[in-house]
Amino acid sequence: MEAISNISEAEFAVMNLIWAKPGLTSHAISDLLAPDHNWSASTIKTMLARLVKKGFLVTQALGKQYQYTALVDEDHISIEYTQALFKRLCDRHQGNALQELLKMAPISQKDIAAMQDILQARAQTAPEVVQCHCMPDGNC
């Protein structure tokens, strides 16, 4: 499997659909994606072929069509994608980025409880100030 950074936004749209409904055919995928994205069936088939080649999807013949199933777990990809994003940010600004995400992300009561547990545990060892790692002297 290639790195998550090699998946385009369009390919993510395809993956999200397949994670939600495993085993869809290319025809069904086209029917579901085309109205919102204005993509042709051949464009979608090209994206599906690229995702298979990259190791994110597997196909299974179903008559004249193929069914597509994800080879990678959505949660795993979400974590990998988030980690890749946060590696690009200065350590001192990651907390602010998390706060902004929390303001806009749809989250459940269960999610909130889990985050509160994590924050309480992290509070025991968290520094007063997070040091910068993007500058040699530690100051940005």
Helix, strand or coil for residue 58? strand
pLDDT tens-digit series, residues 103-115: 999 999 999 999 9
- pLDDT tens digit string along 25-34? 999 999 999 8
- The Cβ of residue 11 has, within 10 Å, a number of other Cβ atoms equal to 17
- Specify which residues 67 forms β-bridges with: 25, 60
- DSSP state, 55? T
Radius of gyration for the alpha carbons in the chain, expressed in angstroms and rounded: 20
**CATH C-level class of 9-70:** mainly alpha
Secondary structure letter of residue 4 according to DSSP: G
Domain coordinates in residue numbering, the chain: 9-70, 90-139
